[in-house]
Structure 1
Amino acid sequence: MVANDAGRDVPRAAVTPSLVVAALMAVYLGVMMGSYLDGPSVGAALDSHSVRWDEGYGLTYEFLYQDTDDAGQVRYHLVSTEGGNIPLVLTCEFRWVDNFSFFDYRPAGWNYVRSNSEEWIRAYEAWRSSPGYDGPIR
């Protein structure tokens, strides 16, 4: 038994798991802080979920330039290397915890989110309907 401030004894079985959880949270926050301080990167953006998803449409991208949006978030501007010159803008968001939604899972850390969906769809459809298109039909 361990005495607490109120003079009552607290079983060690209750203290030990609490200390383990606190230690694990400290390690987790340390790892996440390191990732946050490293910042976003072009390499990670080119390996992001959005870019890998577009590979199924026959698209690969190359880096054009980087800027920031009104909220100060870094944005990477990419363009497809195949026909169509399809633009892709990825906005970098940092998530401290995993994010689960019905159709999407975003792990904790830097996430690269497509921020020009309408423009991308118009460019892709124009490329796909062009006479020289020989990519996959979806």
Structure 2
Amino acid sequence: MRKIRTCPSANPGCVCTNPTVGASSSVASPLIIPESTSADAAAQLLRQAILKTQKNVSFNIDQQTPHGHYIQAEVDGGFGRDVMEFLVKKDAGVVAYRCVATKVTFVYPFTTAIGDSRGQEQRVAAVAQELGWYAPDIRSSVDDVAT
């Protein structure tokens, strides 16, 4: 079974719709599938948007699961290859996702990981913009409530 996992704690810049407890920087909003778009069409449009907006795309997994249509793509990132995972959940009307770097660099002597800064977030934003699908900005909403 394929589900969108949380971001690893030692992977800065990871963006995902399945938040990690205590790591609000990884929280992202799911993409909203237009009502007139079927699940098959949504998956096809998503694949096309990934190909159009990312460099050197390799689709590793593209399959129907009990949870929805799961797509995993590997793309060129800031420090190597990055992984983009999407789960088209038409019954819920959303696409859940996770975008994570496969290589994390640690600066000696510190144990702080150096990540792709906002690269993962920008990568997902480019796909969403290409699709033209709405993604509510829950991070701003969380920040507004916290202040």
Is TM (by shorter chain) over 0.5? no
User: Over alpha carbons, which structure has the higher Rg?
Assistant: 1
Normalized per residue, the structure richer in helix is 1
Short-chain TM bin: 0.3 to 0.5
Relative to the length of structure 2, the TM-score reads 0.34
TM (normalized to structure 1)? 0.36
